[in-house]
Chains A and B, each alone.
Chain A
Amino acid sequence: MDLGRSTRSQVLRALRVAFPYTVPILAGFEFLGITYGIYMHTEGFSFVYPMLMALVIFGGSLEFVVVDMLLSPFAPVSALLVALAVQARHLFYGLAMLDRYKGTGWMKPYLIFGMCDETFSIVYSTEVPEGVDRRWFMFWITLLNQFYWVSGATIGGLAGSLITFDTEGISFVMTALFVVIFVDQLLKEKVHWSAVIGGAASVACLALFGADGFTIPAMVCMVAALTLSRPRLEPQLLVDEDPDKVEVTPQ
Chain B
Amino acid sequence: MTVTQQVITIAVCALGTMATRFVPFLVFGERPVPRYVTYLGKALPSATFAMLVVYCLRNVTFLSGTHGAPELIACAVTAVLHVWKRNMFLSIVGGAACYMLLIRLVF
Which residues of the partner chain B approach A90 to less than 8 Å between Cβ atoms?
A: 17, 20-21
Chain A contact residues: helix, strand, loop or mixed: helix
Decide if B9 touches A76 in the complex (CB within 8 Å).
yes
Chain A: interface residue total (CB-CB under 8 A): 89
Closest-CB distance, A82 to chain B (whole angstroms): 8
**When chains A and B are docked, how far (Å) is the Cα of A94 from the Cα of B33?**
12
In the complex, which residue of chain B has the Cβ closest to the Cβ of A173? B96
In the complex, which residue of chain A has the Cβ closest to the Cβ of B77? A176
In the complex, which residue of chain A has the Cβ closest to the Cβ of B7? A52
Which residues of the partner chain B approach A234 to less than 8 Å between Cβ atoms?
A: 39, 43
Whether A76 contacts B8 in the complex (CB less than 8 A), given A92-B48, A178-B56, A211-B58, comes out as: yes
In the complex, which residue of chain B has the Cβ closest to the Cβ of A176? B95
Decide if A56 touches B10 in the complex (CB within 8 Å).
yes
Residue among A170, A175, A197, A226 making CB contact with B75, cutoff 8 Å: A175
Decide if B51 touches A201 in the complex (CB within 8 Å).
yes
Decide if B47 touches A172 in the complex (CB within 8 Å).
no
Which residues of the partner chain B approach A218 to less than 8 Å between Cβ atoms?
A: 51, 54
The reply on A163 being an interface residue by CB < 8 A is no
User: In chain A between 87 and 125, which residues have their CB closer than 8 angstroms to a CB of chain B?
Assistant: 87-99, 101, 108, 112-113, 115, 117, 121, 124
Residue among B10, B17, B45, B100 making CB contact with A172, cutoff 8 Å: B100
Which residues of the partner chain A approach B48 to less than 8 Å between Cβ atoms?
A: 89, 92-93, 96, 198, 222
Closest-CB distance, A129 to chain B (whole angstroms): 14
Stretch at the interface among A7-15, A133-141, A149-157, A180-188: A180-188
User: In chain A between 190 and 209, which residues have their CB closer than 8 angstroms to a CB of chain B?
Assistant: 192, 194-195, 197-199, 201-203, 206
Decide if B43 touches A226 in the complex (CB within 8 Å).
yes
Interface residues of A (CB under 8 A from B): 20-21, 23-24, 27, 52-53, 56-59, 62, 66, 69-70, 73-74, 76, 79-84, 87-99, 101, 108, 112-113, 115, 117, 121, 124, 168-170, 172-187, 189, 192, 194-195, 197-199, 201-203, 206, 211, 214-215, 218-219, 222-223, 226-227, 230, 233-234, 237, 251
The 9 closest A-B pairs by CB, nearest first: A198-B47, A83-B16, A94-B24, A198-B50, A176-B95, A202-B54, A194-B46, A90-B20, A175-B56
